[in-house]
Amino acid sequence: MGYIKIGKIVNTHGIKGELRIKSDVLHKDKIFKVGNNLYIGEGHIKEEITSYRVHKDYDMVTFKGYTNINEVLIYKNFNVYILEEELNLNNDEVILETLIGFKIIDDNNELGTLQSIHYNGLNILLDINYTKPYYIPYNPNFIDHIDKENKIIYTKNAKDLII
């Protein structure tokens, strides 16, 4: 599967080595668990989570072996990744970022491919590349099911969203 970007370290917090991560990913309860690994930067430096909490709009973590702000300053502005195979997701759970590139099929008609995911605070929108870009809300009214093996997202009523 590989590395999946889940957010970015935007700053430190306090003097004890806590990091502030901006992340919109789903299933945070499975990603940010004490003992789980996060991978930092393009070099995918493996770090183990020793504490986690939510503060305002941020996911706050500390890593094993770091107790001082000066030790973690090097990670500021780095992207944060996970390995999907390290998560214990149920069959019906998916990290949305892994679906980028999947085909969109609505009533046996191919509508394009998933280009990106947008989190607008209220909804999750799938950015679809068709003859022109459009969005499909990620909710049961439009998403029928996801075939991970064949890389297809089956939708219903989505063609009505194309203007």
Q: Poorest-confidence range of 18-27, 121-130, 135-144?
A: 121-130
Catalogue all structural domains in the chain, each as residue range(s) with its CATH number: 3-86 (2.40.30.60), 96-161 (2.30.30.240)
pTM for the full predicted model: 0.82
Mean pLDDT of the chain: 90
Of the candidates 111, 110, 80, which has an alpha carbon nearest to the alpha carbon of residue 97?
Answer: 80
pLDDT, mean of residues 53-74: 96
Cβ–Cβ under 8 Å, residues 130 and 115: no
Helix (H, G, I), strand (E, B) or coil at 93: coil
b/e map 46-85, b = 16+ CB within 10 Å: ebebeebeeeeebbbbbbeebeeeeebeebeebbbbbbee
Quickly tell me which residue has 């990620």 as its tokens: 138
- With vertex at residue 64, the alpha carbon angle to CA 11 and CA 23, rounded to the nearest 5 degrees, is 40
pLDDT digits (tens, 9 = 90+) for 85-125: 888 777 778 888 889 999 999 888 888 899 999 888 788 99
Residue 163: is its pLDDT beyond 70? no
pLDDT, mean of residues 34-45: 96
pLDDT, mean of residues 133-155: 90
